[in-house]
Each structure stands twice: as C-alpha cells, then as structure tokens.
Chain A
Amino acid sequence: MSNPQTGSFPVKRGLAEMLSGGVIMDVVTPEQAKIAEDAGACAVMALERVPADIRRDGGIARMSDPDMIEGIKATVTIPVMAKARIGHFVEAQIIQSLGVDFIDESEVLTPADEAHHIDKYKFDVPFVCGATNLGEALRRISEGAAMIRSKGEAGTGNIVEAVRHLRSILGDIRRIGQADSAELFDWAKQLQAPLPLVQELAETGRLPVPLFCAGGIATPADAAFAMQLGAEAVFVGSGIFKSDEPERRARAIVEATTHFQDADVLAKVSRGLGAPMTGIGMDEINQRYAERGW
C-alpha cells in the first residue's frame, strides 16, 4: 500500500459513516445550498430540478450543468453530492472531475443503460445507490456502492414507498440473522445477490455500508419515522424547497433526525412550519421511478 492511498473502499465508506444521523438536502441554487448549510444539513445534493419538478416537466432528466454544481460547491463547506444517470459512467467521470464528494447513481434521472449499473470500483469518489429490497442493495454493494438508500418514490412527498423499501431490506436482514448456514445459499439465490455478502450479513446483522432513507420525506415526523424504522440518516429532496417556509422546515427536520426517539422534541419542532409540499398519492402518478434499476 502506498502511503497515503486515496480512493480505497474504507475511505469511501468512511464518508458515508460521517453523514450518519444527518440530513442531506436537495438544492438547485447556491442560495438554497446556503440555507441548507445554515439549517444544519450534513451535505447537499446539487441538481437542476428537484424530483417534483422533474416529474411535472417530463422529458429526459440528465446530469446537472457543471457550472451549476461548481456554484454550489463554492458556496458551502459541507460535502456536495451530484446525480448521474443509472449506468452513465461518463456522467460519473465528469462529476468526479469536478471534485464532487459523493455521486448518486439515481433512478430520479432517466436511466442510460437498461442492464448495467456503473462499475463503481473504477472511481475514487464514493457512490450511493437506491434500492427497493435487499437483493438490489447487495447487488449495488457488490458493484462498489459505499452507501445504500431506499428509493422511495421521489418527488411525491409521500413516505409510503420508502417505508415499504426500508421494511423489506431491514426485515430480510433480520430473517437472514435467523437462518442456518445451508439456508444462506438459498437466500443468495432468492435475492440474486453474491453469497459472500449474504454470509457476511448473517454474521454481522447489518449491511456492510450505511443504509439511509430517501424518497418522500416531507415533515419532521417523516424523518423521525424513517430513523425509528432503522435508517441511519435521511435525504430530503422536494420536501424542503417545495414547502412554504424552507428555512424553518429544514432546521426542524435536522432536529427531528437527531432527536428521532424524543416525541417531546418532535412535537416542539413540528409546530408552525407552514404548509408542507402538497404531495401526490401513488395511484395518481404515471411513472414510478423506483422501478428503474436492476
């Protein structure tokens, strides 16, 4: 090993660990990035349109303009993330060259490859990927993802899908903890996931990388709900800057994520936040982003 060595897996997973217990906020301008940092965000996701607007506008959603990403990078001192399309390793190369701290290979953007995700081991910058179930999470980890998040259903302000994904992932982890060694072969087959990762999971009782919640968080109660279910941190996309009072809501969600087990604090920070984003029911949407990715 050279001394020092950059881009190793422990270095990538390390940043994911540092973001635990925090709130990562979607921002589309440097001004919003500043508001997020002032409110206590542990990182920001720089993108051109929040998922609610991508959903409204339709069309192809791609990587953001490098100028826009750099404007946000120059404004804040906390880590900056950016999204690449599923499988689009050239967008990821560009984002890495901008010095962004984390890449989200995201189903919110239009997938660029219908069979392959990015080989994330080829990059020095860490990746986060979405998952709806444990098999998907383990496949992304086997490709080099340093963080897993629920996909939820981005841009809906509706937590129900993220809850489904978290319960599915964490429920299966608990079930695998009860399995005997012979059953682990079958689990690997059912999950379509590498056996060594399933065996490791059985031994440690947790994913080898942090598990965060994303998709549909709109209130402090939603954030605390995700944390009590077992998420280690939360992403808030459209929920903050599509609400009436982004500053106060952002701050309240940060407090709720830290004090997620304290209902008195949750009651206090949930007061007087103005209207949350309106949100959409699952039967009202025509495109489920969570179905993107394989």
Chain B
Amino acid sequence: MNIGILALQGAFAAHQRVLTDLGTSVTLVRGVEDLVGLDGIVLPGGESTTMSMLLDSSGIHGHLRELLGKGFPVFGTCAGLILLAEQIVDGRADQQQLGGLSINARRNGYGRQIDSFEASINICDAEHACSMNGVFIRAPRIEKVTGDVHVLGTVNGDIVLVRQGNVLGATFHPELGNDRRVHEMFLKIVSRHNDDLEQVQEVRS
C-alpha cells in the first residue's frame, strides 16, 4: 500500500511519521508525477489559502479532482477538510474547492489561535464506539452536512469527523497525538477500495 501526502505546505511531516509508524509506504506529493501509483492520499492541515494557490500552480488540483470523482480514497485534516468541502464560509473568493465532502465548513470557525483547543471526541463509528483526544488548531467548523455524509465524531454536539464514500475528513489533527485510530480508519478505507478494484478486475478478466 502506498499513501501519498500532499506536501505543498503544512503538517505533512507529522502525517508521514504516523503512517510510517503504521508500516505504510509514503510518497510526498509536490507535483503531478507524484500522484502515479498511489492507493490513497492525505491532505494535511496548514493554511488552506496557501495550499489552494500551490495546488493550482503545480497542476495537482485538476488531477486530484478527477481522482476524487473516481472514488479515490482521500483523507483531509483541518485545512485538508476545507479543500474537500463543497462549500466554505469565510474563505478567500479565489479559493478553489476540490469537492468530495457534501458539507459546509466555516474557516477558523472556532476563532483565532487563542481559541484553539484540545478536547475529548466521541467517536460514533459502528466499529469503534469510543472517545479520543483531539487537537483543534484554528479549526474549521462543520456547519451543515447533506447527502450521504456519515458523522463519525462529535465534540459537545459539533461534528468533527465525517466520511462520505472513500473520503474521510477531520476538523482536528489526529497526526499530532499518539492515537493512530483515525489513520487506521483511513487505511481500512484504502484497503477495502483496493479489494473492490481487484474484484472488478477479476470480473472483467
């Protein structure tokens, strides 16, 4: 399994440490050529305005959009979730969305750094009913979910972890703690997607 991590700007190194710890092979993605041969991609936290600009200038934006349309597994944290949100509030006018998650997300929805926080998250996935610690940094706030978006985690009633098809999105930073469960959740999505692809190939041959 080879997971790409978008490495234009942001906390890509922290994701790299977690995924490497979990025994996954990792490719840092800075150009279109780095997208070849990936089984899934992580969009890290950082500044979404900066990343959005660099997605454009590197040409990755169009390719990633296309992959998302084909059901390619993508995991966005914080700014990565903002890039995936169909609608953003308080973004820059020229910020281009990748799409993939039918949600409304408000940039810096909890305020500035002084309001950034740690909190215990209720995980309400069928396989893991549990709680975990989450770090929220100038985090986006999910204001609305539509369609077949599954809510997987909440803090005091706020939605903080969602899944739609093969797209996983977190408003917090599972890459900053020692808890690997959200990354494991994503790797499971990737391996199921790979199994499905294999089955389709078998049927065709």
Contact = CB atoms under 8 A, between A and B. Distances in A.
Nearest to A233: B9
Contact of B46 (A20, A37, A96): A20
B10 to A, nearest CB: 6
A79 B50 contact: no
Contact of B119 (A5, A37, A40): A5
A11 B14 contact: no
Nearest to B57: A255
Contacts of A101: 112-114, 138
B119 A4 contact: yes
B47 A22 contact: yes
Interface in A1-46: 1, 3-8, 10-11, 13-15, 17-22, 37, 40-43
A8, A14, A43, A255 — which one has the most chain B CB atoms within 10 A of its CB? A14
A77 B50 contact: no
Contact of A18 (B8, B78, B155, B156): B78
A262 B117 contact: no
Contacts of A7: 114
A22 B9 contact: yes
A258 interface: yes
A20 B138 contact: no
A134 B79 CA distance: 32
Contacts of B119: 3-5
A96 B114 CA distance: 8
Contacts of B57: 255
A99 B114 contact: yes
Interface string B78-91: 11000000000011
A10, A18, A102 — which one has the most chain B CB atoms within 10 A of its CB? A18
B11 interface: yes
A125 interface: yes
A43 B115 CA distance: 17
The B interface, classified by DSSP as helix, strand, loop or mixed, is: loop
Contacts of A20: 9-13, 46
B145 interface: no
A49 interface: no
Interface residues of A, number: 40
A255 to B, nearest CB: 7
A256 to B, nearest CB: 12
Interface string B155-194: 1100000000000000001001100000000000000000
A207 B203 CA distance: 51
B10 A4 contact: no
A259 interface: yes
Contact of A21 (B31, B46, B78, B173): B46
Contact of A11 (B30, B78, B116): B116
A282 to B, nearest CB: 31
B120 interface: yes
A221 to B, nearest CB: 18
Contacts of B156: 3-4
Contacts of A14: 116, 135, 137, 173, 176
Contacts of A232: 13
A1, A8, A21, A22 — which one has the most chain B CB atoms within 10 A of its CB? A21
Given A42-B10, A78-B47, 7 more contacts: A11-B135, A15-B113, A15-B138, A19-B47, A37-B49, A77-B90, A77-B91
Across the A-B interface, the 8 shortest Cβ-Cβ residue pairs: A4-B117, A4-B119, A101-B113, A14-B137, A42-B47, A21-B9, A17-B11, A40-B53
9 contacts: A3-B120, A4-B117, A7-B114, A10-B118, A10-B177, A11-B116, A17-B173, A254-B54, A258-B54
Interface of B: 7-14, 30-31, 45-47, 49-50, 53-54, 57-58, 78-79, 90-92, 107-108, 112-120, 135-138, 155-156, 173, 176-177
